[in-house]
């Protein structure tokens, strides 16, 4: 970074710039150090790692003194690396608070580089049996709050917005009923079981009212039971998702050496997860009478009716998921061996970075374009016009929901109201078009073929 600053000065001067008469290069560079302390990584780290690698070769049969020194070298190297990560985290918080987005991006990149240097503990040589005195394992003193915040910062840059929000929700709920300043190693299976018991009692739609922000668990449950005696609790899937997110945080703490990899700290696995009053709805395909009811119902504005017709037509004749349809680009409709197809694949930006991925491995596929879509919907002409006008997406009029990273969110909400206006039951959703397509192909075994 120092070399970069000096280079910038030379470029400035060679371009005709002029420095102040009393410009002090030394003080200038010292100021840069104060502004960007985390950019100055000592060569000590690389040297320490090299020394550790050399000593590994001589562990077998080595004296206690040599083994003790080796362990101290490893601990010192790891402590230095963790200190670097903590310092980066603190700088990142300061950059965010100051609204310095450019520096925030730089720090996230540096944080990723530092984390990538965390040694793979599976490759470390095991303690030799000749040691007479075992070095006591270090017990973490890091509070849950700190380790969770650090992990959330890492996930922010590596997962979708929806997945990141799942992490935030799990941590927020855990923090709502737990002392987050407790040191991580003090939590036991009794604590995780208590949290799971909280999850089992939580109403499915909790947190919608400001009144609940100061309520205890008992008060929240009583509040919802008063409004709905048969209130629905969180589903088993939602509970399992929260538990899995918490388990990831514990695994992260172990991976960076903040928590010992011991059985007693495995507090999130092998729990029996059952909901108290889970609301399950068996989604099914539309019936002919229900399709007729949809056709006779007035579609209210906000989303263009032609867009609605084309999206529903694609869903009906391809079985594609809503988000797959809403993200269709002009280049996703092309011929394959003489057959016009929808090409469902990973979307990447100009730099090759993945920005959207189909739901599963089976999500990437080619789907022939039905003759009805070709001849009666105007979709192909729309795609060609979008290509000429350099539109990124065919359904460019759909708004983007940043909170979920989806283009189909607004359409889904609007279709839900449309379906209710048509008098259709809860078992039907937009996904019922996918079930309908599957039924028409004879791929169902529940008597609905």
Question: For residue 309, what pLDDT band results from cuts at 50, 70 and 90?
Answer: very high
3-state SS class at 436: helix
Q: How confident is the model at residue 115 (pLDDT cuts 50, 70, 90)?
A: low
pTM: 0.49
Q: Which range among 128-137, 195-204, 246-255 shows the weakest confidence by mean pLDDT? A: 128-137
**Cβ-Cβ contacts under 8 Å for 303 (sequence gap 6 or more):** 397, 398, 410, 411, 414
Neighbours of 148 (CB within 10 A): 25
Distances (CA, A) of 96 to 91, 166, 188, 215, 316: 9, 21, 34, 31, 46
Long-range contacts of 167-170 (CB under 8 A, 24+ apart): 167/245, 167/248, 169/242, 170/241, 170/242, 170/245, 170/246
Predicted local distance difference test score (pLDDT) of residue 324: 93
Lowest mean pLDDT among 188-192, 208-212, 230-234, 363-367: 208-212
- At 72, the pLDDT band (50, 70, 90 cuts) reads confident
Top pLDDT among 85 and 429 is at: 429
Q: What is the DSSP letter of 103?
A: H
Q: Is 367 helix (H, G, I), strand (E, B) or coil?
A: strand
Name the nearest CA neighbour of 208 among 228, 194, 193: 228
Say whether pLDDT at 327 is over 60.
yes
The pLDDT score that the predictor gives to residue 427 is 84
Residue 137 CA: distances (Å) to CA of 173, 188, 249, 279? 31, 18, 20, 46
Taking 80 as the threshold, does the pLDDT of residue 258 lie above it? Answer: yes
Helices (H), 131-160: 144-156
**Rg, the chain, Cα only:** 29
The residues, any chain, with a CB within 8 Å of residue 288's CB and separated by 6 or more, are: none
What's the whole-number mean pLDDT along residues 382-401? 92
Q: What is the dihedral of CA 121, 122, 123, 125, to 10 degrees?
A: 80
Q: With 70 as the cut, is the pLDDT of residue 10 above it?
A: no
In what order do the strands lie in the sheet containing 339-344? 333-336, 339-344, 365-368
Mean pLDDT (whole number) for 46-67: 68
Position 275 scores a pLDDT of: 73
Residue 333 has pLDDT above 90, yes or no: yes
> What letter does residue 139 receive in the DSSP assignment?
P
Least confident of 48-62, 267-281, 353-367, 382-396: 48-62
| Mean pLDDT, all residues of the chain | 79
First to last CA, the chain: 67
User: Is residue 445 pLDDT above 70, yes or no?
Assistant: no
Distances from the Cα of 344 to the Cαs of 65, 361, 412, in angstroms?
61, 11, 20
pLDDT at 405 over 70: yes
């Amino acid at each position: 970074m120092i070399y970069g600053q000096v280079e910038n000065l030379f470029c400035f001067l060679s371009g005709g710039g002029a420095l102040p008469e009393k410009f002090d290069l030394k003080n200038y560079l010292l100021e840069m150090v104060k502004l960007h302390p985390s950019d100055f990584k000592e060569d000590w780290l690389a040297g320490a790692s090299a020394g550790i690698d050399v000593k590994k070769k001589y562990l077998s049969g080595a004296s206690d003194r040599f083994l003790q020194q080796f362990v101290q070298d490893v601990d010192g190297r790891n402590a230095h690396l963790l200190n670097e990560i903590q310092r980066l985290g603190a700088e990142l918080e300061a950059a965010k608070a100051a609204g310095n987005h450019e520096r925030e991006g730089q720090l996230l990149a540096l944080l990723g580089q530092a984390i990538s240097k965390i040694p793979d503990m599976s490759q470390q040589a095991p303690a030799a049996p000749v040691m007479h005195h075992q070095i006591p394992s270090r017990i973490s003193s890091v509070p849950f709050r700190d380790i969770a915040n650090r992990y959330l910062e890492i996930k922010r840059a590596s997962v979708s917005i929806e997945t990141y929000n799942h992490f935030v929700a799990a941590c927020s709920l855990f923090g709502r009923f737990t002392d987050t300043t407790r040191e991580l190693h003090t939590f036991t299976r009794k604590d995780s079981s208590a949290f799971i018991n909280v999850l089992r009692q939580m109403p499915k739609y909790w947190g919608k009212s400001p009144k609940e922000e100061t309520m205890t668990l008992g008060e929240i449950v009583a509040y919802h039971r008063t409004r709905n005696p048969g209130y629905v609790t969180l589903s088993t899937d939602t509970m399992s998702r929260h538990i899995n997110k918490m388990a990831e945080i514990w695994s992260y703490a172990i991976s960076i050496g903040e928590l010992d990899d011991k059985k007693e700290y495995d507090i999130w696995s092998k729990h029996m997860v059952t909901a108290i009053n889970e609301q399950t709805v068996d989604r099914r395909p539309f019936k002919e009478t229900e399709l007729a009811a949809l056709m006779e119902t007035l579609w209210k504005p906000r989303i263009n009716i032609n867009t609605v017709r084309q999206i529903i037509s694609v869903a009906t004749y391809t079985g594609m998921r809503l988000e797959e349809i809403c993200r269709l680009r002009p280049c996703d409709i092309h011929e394959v061996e003489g057959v016009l197809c929808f090409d469902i694949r990973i979307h990447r930006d100009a730099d090759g970075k993945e920005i959207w991925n189909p739901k599963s491995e089976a999500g990437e596929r080619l789907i022939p374009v039905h003759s009805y879509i070709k001849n009666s919907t105007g979709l192909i002409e729309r795609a060609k016009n979008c290509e000429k006008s350099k539109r990124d997406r065919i359904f460019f009029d759909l708004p983007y929901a940043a909170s979920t990273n989806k283009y189909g969110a607004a359409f889904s909400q609007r279709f839900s109201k449309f379906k209710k206006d048509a008098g259709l039951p809860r078992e039907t959703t937009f996904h019922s078009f996918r079930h309908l397509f599957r039924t028409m192909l004879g791929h169902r075994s529940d008597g609905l073929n």
